Amino acid sequence: MNIHYKIVEVWPEIHSIVVRYWTDILSEEYLASDTNRKEDGTPYRCRSDASITLAIPAPTGEELEKLLISNAPYQWLKTLETCVLPEVDTSLSHISTDVTNSISEEEFLKLTMKTFDLGDKPPENVISGTMTDEDIEKLIAKLAETNSAK
């Protein structure tokens, strides 16, 4: 998959840019969100347009290119490319709509903590939002330890 991108808008008053992403298979036209076109015939808006707020001072050159690349919706574009293949079942018939679910904050934190392999129950200071700098440093060290073991 080749990802193409270009800056389509610059908003100096909010120090932001809008970047458009597309691929060889998913053209700008395919990703257009409506029928409105600019004078050059390109879509005014695409589903892959991303607003990026820039640091002050704004990055330039290679630093800017890295920022644009790192904000590409890679997984979304890859999924959409797969969806356009005629042999791929995209029916989602096993998923029900209008089903409401809930999760408590503690359960949410427990699940997300397991994601990072930090145990079954998050520490109370994580749940209450009262982490100290020392707590954060310990958490970063544990994450680094977990990642180096993989």
Q: Residue 50's closest CA among 72, 31, 35, 76?
A: 72
**Structural tokens at position 134:** 């020392």
Q: Give the 3-state secondary structure of residue 32.
A: strand
* Cis omega (within 30 of 0) for bond into 43: no
Q: What is the pLDDT of residues 19-62, one digit of tens each?
A: 999 999 999 999 999 999 999 999 999 999 999 999 999 999 99
Q: Give the 3-state secondary structure of residue 64.
A: helix
Q: What is the pLDDT of residues 98-129, one digit of tens each?
A: 889 999 988 888 777 765 555 555 566 565 66
Whole-model pTM: value is 0.66
Q: Where are the domains of the chain?
A: 3-83, 105-149
Do residues 5 and 69 lie in contact, with contact meaning Cβ atoms separated by under 8 Å? yes
In the structure, what pLDDT confidence band is assigned to residue 71 with cuts at 50, 70 and 90?
very high
**Structural tokens at position 97:** 């709509």
What is the per-residue pLDDT for 119? 56
- For residue 76, the one-letter residue type is W
What is the per-residue pLDDT for 130? 73
Please give the DSSP secondary-structure letter assigned to residue 104.
Answer: -
What is the per-residue pLDDT for 117? 55
CA distance 142 to 25: 42
